Chains A and B, each alone.
Chain A
Amino acid sequence: DAGVTQSPTHLIKTRGQQVTLRCSPISGHKSVSWYQQVLGQGPQFIFQYYEKEERGRGNFPDRFSARQFPNYSSELNVNALLLGDSALYLCASSLGGGQGASPLHFGNGTRLTVT
């Protein structure tokens, strides 16, 4: 079975530009989460979506936005890029719903470099 797929794998952008990252979850998973991982640190929560609705938002500025589509895929958008946005952006899918937290299954990420 295919795991979580993310595209593109690498991206180089200039300060002030906008970027869109894409994610396809594991088949049957209805929840998608986005995390930012700066080199040498653990992943930091950005968003969680379940059944196309935002269920959680981390401490990130409004320049970050996301959405989930009817097929449960998701996009993360970042506007007005800053040098500090350079990081590995991870998408994770999970079953969602039900009682209790569902295990997150991560993709291999999109490496964003802002110059």
Chain B
Amino acid sequence: GENVEQHPSTLSVQEGDSAVIKCTYSDSASNYFPWYKQELGKGPQLIIDIRSNVGEKKDQRIAVTLNKTAKHFSLHITETQPEDSAVYFCAAAGYTGNQFYFGTGTSLTVIP
């Protein structure tokens, strides 16, 4: 089955700086890659996603890049704010979308 690895496990940045979280996947059949933000006591919230026919997608301060050849994708958050502090998860899913495989999470702390 699919194996998704995520790095780093923890990340601290100064407010206003950029944060980058990286994930790799093993199954070349995976073609959908969402990112989730999970705050304490809440379920994961979808923040951005990308499909394998696109190399990059941007939504305001958040962007995701995908390298299909290398099987890795990254989340970029620019101009970080304290409210960006949370645990972020990457995930991968295949064509059927029956099962999503999640990374182990990155705890992001934005220092005011």
State the A residues within 8 Å of B (CB): 4, 33, 35, 40-45, 48, 55-56, 58, 90, 92, 94, 96, 99-109
State the B residues within 8 Å of A (CB): 4, 6, 31-32, 34, 36, 41-46, 49, 51, 89, 91, 93-105
Please, which residue of chain B has its CB at the minimum distance from the CB of A96? Answer: B97
By the criterion CB–CB under 8 Å, are B89 and A43 in contact?
Answer: yes
Q: A100-B32, A100-B97, A101-B95 are in contact. Are A42 and B43 (CB under 8 A)?
A: no
By the criterion CB–CB under 8 Å, are B44 and A102 in contact?
Answer: no
By the criterion CB–CB under 8 Å, are A43 and B102 in contact?
Answer: yes
Please, which residue of chain B has its CB at the minimum distance from the CB of A46? Answer: B99
Q: In whole angstroms, what is the CA distance A64 to B79 when docked?
A: 44
A59 CB, min distance to chain B CBs, angstroms:
9
Please, which residue of chain B has its CB at the minimum distance from the CB of A56? Answer: B98
By the criterion CB–CB under 8 Å, are A41 and B99 in contact?
Answer: no
By the criterion CB–CB under 8 Å, are A106 and B43 in contact?
Answer: yes
In the bound complex, residues from chain B placing their C-beta under 8 Å from that of A90 are: 43-44
Please, which residue of chain B has its CB at the minimum distance from the CB of A49? Answer: B98
User: From DSSP, what is the main secondary structure of chain A's interface residues?
Assistant: loop
- Starting from the known contacts A48-B99, A100-B32, A103-B34, 4 additional A-B residue pairs (CB-CB under 8 Å) come to A58-B99, A99-B95, A101-B31, A104-B100
In the bound complex, residues from chain A placing their C-beta under 8 Å from that of B89 are: 42-43
Q: In whole angstroms, what is the CA distance A35 to B43 when docked?
A: 11
By the criterion CB–CB under 8 Å, are B32 and A42 in contact?
Answer: no
By the criterion CB–CB under 8 Å, are B97 and A43 in contact?
Answer: no
By the criterion CB–CB under 8 Å, are B97 and A102 in contact?
Answer: yes
In the bound complex, residues from chain A placing their C-beta under 8 Å from that of B104 are: 40-42
Q: In whole angstroms, what is the CA distance A45 to B91 when docked?
A: 11
In the bound complex, residues from chain B placing their C-beta under 8 Å from that of A103 are: 34, 46, 49
